[in-house]
């Protein structure tokens, strides 16, 4: 029986449940504050443009993209991309998300070390995430545990990437709140904090899930060696 059907899959259940809960909280929190119009009169685009310009980042364009919560800053092209629901909205949620992404743009311009490290790890992590589990499987099927251990080492790159992502995301949120403090009234700023905190928890959940996967792979590889 393939290893991914054995009992060790139960180890991943807490991570799966945590992910579902976090996504539910994020969606409900975002939808709640997406209905609260900010007294600033700014749209997500307007807030982002104002923040970037005040930071001297006049060369960072802002694009509108499809999807919900697909907002991101692309350091490769130095472009800030906001989803339609954020770009055109004057809601508290939209302004908070836009400010968070501006935080990433500012991180990039300031050469914030964790962001530089995360950027350097992207290609390696993309390869490792897809290759690691297959190498573990191949090592077990061939009875060559060394291959399986290489697969586990590759997956540790994914875990490290998730770990490095945490300070990047939390720092961007802190920057966003600091920028908006004094611009938004207290009630609106509290809403921003709740939206960004819920979003940050998705990265915490991903990190915990990755750790659980490491534990699972250790049990699988160790079990495979004992059966030899």
Average pLDDT, the chain: 92
pLDDT digits (tens, 9 = 90+) for 115-164: 999 999 998 999 998 898 899 889 988 988 899 999 999 999 999 999 99
State yes or no: pLDDT of 173 exceeds 80: yes
**What is the pLDDT, as a whole number, of residue 33?**
97
- Residue 101 known to be catalytic: yes
| DSSP 8-state code for residue 73 | E
Segment holding 63, helix H or strand E:
strand 62-65
Region of poorest pLDDT, from 16-30, 112-126, 150-164, 212-226: 212-226
Confidence tier at 224 by pLDDT (50, 70, 90)? low
Average pLDDT over residues 35-46: 95
Using CA atoms, how far residue 6 sits from 2, 93, 98, 131, 216, in Å, is: 7, 42, 43, 20, 10
State yes or no: pLDDT of 22 exceeds 80: yes
pLDDT digits (tens, 9 = 90+) for 50-71: 999 999 999 999 999 999 889 9
The whole-angstrom separation of Cα 209 and Cα 165 is 14
Two tokens, residue 85: 């629901």
Give the chain's domain count.
Answer: 1
The whole-angstrom separation of Cα 152 and Cα 138 is 12
**Residue 134 belongs to what domain range?**
3-227
**What is the pLDDT, as a whole number, of residue 6?**
73
Confidence tier at 5 by pLDDT (50, 70, 90)? low
Return the bridge partners of 95, or none: none
**Catalytic entry in 101, 110, 188, 228:** 101
Closest CA to 131 of 107, 152, 108, 100: 152
Closest CA to 5 of 151, 137, 135: 137
**What is the pLDDT, as a whole number, of residue 1?**
38
């Amino acid at each position: 029986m393939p290893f991914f059907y054995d009992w060790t899959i139960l180890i991943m259940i807490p991570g799966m449940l945590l992910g579902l809960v976090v996504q539910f909280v994020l969606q409900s929190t975002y939808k709640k504050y997406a209905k609260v119009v900010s007294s600033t009169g700014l749209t997500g685009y307007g807030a982002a443009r104002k923040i970037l310009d005040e930071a001297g980042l006049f060369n960072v364009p802002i694009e509108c993209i499809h999807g919900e919560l697909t907002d991101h800053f692309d350091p490769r092209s130095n472009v800030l991309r906001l989803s339609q629901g954020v770009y055109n909205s004057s809601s508290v949620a939209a302004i908070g998300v836009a400010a968070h992404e501006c935080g990433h743009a500012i991180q990039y311009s300031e050469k914030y070390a964790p962001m530089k490290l995360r950027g350097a790890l992207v290609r390696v992590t993309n390869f490792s995430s897809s290759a690691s589990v297959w190498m573990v499987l191949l090592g077990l099927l061939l009875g060559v545990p060394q291959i399986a251990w290489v697969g586990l080492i590759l997956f540790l790159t994914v875990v490290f990437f998730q770990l490095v992502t945490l300070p990047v995301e939390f720092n961007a949120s802190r920057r966003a709140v600091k920028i908006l403090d004094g611009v938004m009234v207290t009630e609106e700023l509290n809403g921003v904090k709740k939206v960004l905190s819920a979003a940050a928890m998705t990265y915490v959940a991903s990190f915990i899930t990755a750790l659980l996967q490491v534990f699972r792979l250790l049990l699988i590889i160790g079990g495979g060696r004992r059966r030899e």
